[in-house]
């Protein structure tokens, strides 16, 4: 065996050793990470070196788990709407209330306003 053949073999051995170490490191990384089905699919479709058909299949399998489907949910409360009051009745009721308030003396009206002194000099 000549020195050039020996150097060539040693170079090949170094390359193979580096590749084995790289693969061992990748195996250790894959075992240390969570390796559920979704994670594997995400890793496959994120790998630019994977075949496009395989990446598309992995993305399709992961999609329903990454973005959940919108589903209808029952209402949190059992509410029943009241029938609307006709506008004419509402206006009449509000005007009657206003007329009652205007009929009160000024001191009585001031007492109804929150934060006013109500005519008694206090700031309650």
Q: Could you report the per-residue pLDDT of 3-29, keeping only the tens digit for each?
A: 888 899 999 999 999 999 999 988 887
Q: How many CA atoms lie within 13 A of 71 on its CB side?
A: 5
Find tokens 């051995």 and name the residue: 13
Global pTM reads 0.35
The helix/strand/coil state of 123 is coil
Q: Say which DSSP state 113 is in.
A: S
Find tokens 């309650």 and name the residue: 124
Interval 43-86: pLDDT, tens? 889 989 889 999 999 999 998 888 878 888 888 888 888 899 99
CA distance 26 to 43: 13
């Amino acid at each position: 065996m000549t020195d050039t053949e020996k150097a060539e073999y040693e170079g090949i051995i170094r390359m193979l050793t580096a590749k084995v170490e790289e693969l061992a490191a990748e195996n250790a990384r894959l075992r240390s990470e969570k390796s559920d089905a979704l994670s594997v699919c995400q890793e496959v479709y994120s790998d630019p070196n994977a075949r496009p058909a395989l990446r598309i299949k992995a993305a399709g399998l992961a999609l329903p788990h990454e973005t959940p489907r919108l589903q209808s949910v029952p209402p949190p409360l059992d509410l029943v709407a009241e029938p609307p009051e006709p506008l004419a009745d509402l206006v009449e009721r509000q005007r009657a209330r206003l007329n009652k308030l205007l009929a009160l003396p000024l001191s009585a009206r001031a007492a109804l306003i929150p934060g006013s002194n109500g005519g008694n000099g206090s700031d309650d």
